[in-house]
Structure 1
Amino acid sequence: MRLLVKAPAKINLSLDVLHKREDGYHEVEMIMTTIDLADRLELTLLEQNAIKITSLNRFVPDDQRNLAYQAAQLLKERFNVQKGVSMTIEKIIPVAAGLAGGSSDAAAVLRGLNKLWGLGLTIDELAEIGAEIGSDVSFCVYGGTALATGRGEIITKLPAAPTCWVILAKPFIGVSTSDVYRRLNVNTVKHPNTEAMIEAIECGDYKSVCSHVGNVLEEVTFQMHPEVAQIKEQMKRFGADAVLMSGSGPTVFGLVHHDSRMQRIYNGLRGFCDQVFAVRLIGERHKLD
């Protein structure tokens, strides 16, 4: 038996950090939404009790360091599954980009193996298991648009964000999320208005969504990697309706409503940046087959 599963990337329309918790994590308020840029995973049932990963991307580990492997291993151990799986990962989402590529792969494996191994779990149960793997995995299990609180694992569903183009630009650098959080001073940052963003999404108000994007991690990453700030300024100059860094970076995204302007910005950035994509917001939640 073989199963194909898509693992879409996410962007943060709003990312706020409230304080550092006693457990070492940070308390966050994030509004995330999935976009039509996705890894593709092929899961093949194995009769032997083994987990195998194949990827043509040299930056993707094929062992326990891979979140997709961890997801399969966790399900095997939790539910005493005696069969195995061979996973082939076609990486489309840039690695270490602030787009939750690894987390989305893990979430896709949870959804896929739930069917392949006949576990019969609900999507809420899969999201709860995903929280044990990484902070973004719970959201990626659901997909769509949501408010994520706690350390990112408490998910509150929101309506689909207003449809538009999303232009992504990633420089050829990686950013350490732990380094960014370590350098963050929550007392000096300008906190985004999470409630205003939620209201804009609920009203389907594209202009209001654009005016309330915000990410407290931007300034830290900009100080560490000035080229990320340069990409943001370039995208603004090209005429995007709103521009923001996703997650801890280094990917910067722009929201654009009109096709002609999207094409102009996309073409302009391709001469300025290593990896550029133009995709649509997905907005709708995943459904279990």
Structure 2
Amino acid sequence: MTNDTITIKAPAKINLSLDVTGRRENGYHDLRMLMQTIDLYDELTIKKTAESGIHFSMNRELPDHIPPEKNLVWKAAKLLQEHCHITDGLDIYLEKNIPAAAGLAGGSSDCAAALIGINELCDLGLTLGQLCDLGVTLGADVPFCLQKGTMLSEGIGEILTRLPDLSPLWALLIKPDISVSTGYVYTHLKLDEITSHPDTEHLIDCIRRHDDASLARGLSNVLETVTIPEYPILAELKTFLSDNGAIGALMSGSGPTTYGLYQDEILARMALKKAKEQYPDYDVLLCRTRLPE
């Protein structure tokens, strides 16, 4: 960081579990999720400028082609400008590496990184709790992305309980060349027909005991009941990962990214090579379940 520029990493997340426990009158769903930061990240460079306003750019166009002022990074900057009466202009450049609309919270993490970076760059003095209170108004995953690590997430995603750090497992991510609407998935979720829910307490116990094999066997996401019938390729990907050394496989978020966990780096790299050969048009990425260095 210099006096007028800061660069911040924005790591992705995967769901170790995702349970929907109810639906509120306002249409929001009550969730119970186990979330884990991985070391795949976007990078934000934020610069103070003499010219007022916010200038936002990125290295590649997002699939939905939204204008800059609709991007969560721009919204985060605007929120802090107004909340803290920032007079400087802001030039923000986003280096996008996390696949978009993938169930990896890339947009929420970029938003969190913008809040952290502007807070530090402009010496605003906001606490992490204050940033979380502001962030949740922009997206339910933003508070998790601000705090990172291994967490139980409840409510609509804003109630967070920190858990012991997960073992540094390898995570092989495969994102098919399809877009999944989160709104569509939740709208078509039939809660009364779900017969199998994540055993969240058991998974938390596995995390506390560092029982990675039992944790991997218990990976569970109720949104698969909607997304997989709509996109059967995701079931194929889970089978591919399991057949190629993963100790567990799951769809993250509302999809379509599907990942496998590995304890053994050699197995993980062999699976990476095979996945790139078998699915050349998909995003195939090997990460670890830890904070970026």
TM class, shorter-length:
over 0.9
Structure 1 stretch displaced more, 261-270 or 106-115:
261-270
Task: After superposition, give the CA deviation of every residue in 1:55-78 in whole Å (9 maximum; x if it has no partner).
Answer: 121116451210111111111111
Correspondence 1:187 to 2:195: no
Please give the alpha-carbon distance, in whole angstroms, between the structure 1 residues aligned to 2:93 and 2:107.
14
Identity of aligned residues (%): 41
- Aligned pair partner of 1:201 in 204, 207, 211: 207
Structure 1 stretch displaced more, 229-238 or 92-101:
229-238
The aligned residue for residue 243 of structure 2 is: 237
| C-alpha contact (below 8 Å) 2:19/2:222 kept by paired residues | yes
| C-alpha contact (below 8 Å) 1:55/1:62 kept by paired residues | no
Please give the alpha-carbon distance, in whole angstroms, between the structure 1 residues aligned to 2:291 and 2:150.
6
| C-alpha contact (below 8 Å) 1:161/1:283 kept by paired residues | no
Please give the alpha-carbon distance, in whole angstroms, between the structure 2 residues aligned to 1:272 and 1:109.
37
Matches within 5 A, 1:1-289: 1-59=4-62, 61-189=66-194, 190-273=196-279, 274-282=282-290
Please give the alpha-carbon distance, in whole angstroms, between the structure 2 residues aligned to 1:118 and 1:283.
24
Moved over 2 A (4+): none
Count of matched residue pairs: 285
| C-alpha contact (below 8 Å) 1:35/1:280 kept by paired residues | yes
| C-alpha contact (below 8 Å) 1:53/1:62 kept by paired residues | no
Structure 2, gaps ≥5 residues long: none
SS of residue in 2 equivalent to 1:78: helix
- Amino acid aligned to 1:202: R
Please give the alpha-carbon distance, in whole angstroms, between the structure 1 residues aligned to 2:109 and 2:226.
25
Alpha-carbon distance, 1:263 to partner: 1.2
TM-score (norm 2): 0.94
Structure 1 stretch displaced more, 103-112 or 258-267:
258-267
Please give the alpha-carbon distance, in whole angstroms, between the structure 2 residues aligned to 1:106 and 1:131.
10
TM-score (norm 1): 0.96
Task: After superposition, give the CA deviation of every residue in 1:245-284 in whole Å (9 maximum; x if it has no partner).
Answer: 0000000010000111111111111123211011111159
SS of residue in 2 equivalent to 1:8: strand
Please give the alpha-carbon distance, in whole angstroms, between the structure 1 residues aligned to 2:97 and 2:142.
18
SS of residue in 2 equivalent to 1:271: helix
Structure 1, gaps ≥5 residues long: none
| C-alpha contact (below 8 Å) 1:159/1:283 kept by paired residues | no
Structure 1 stretch displaced more, 69-78 or 95-104:
69-78
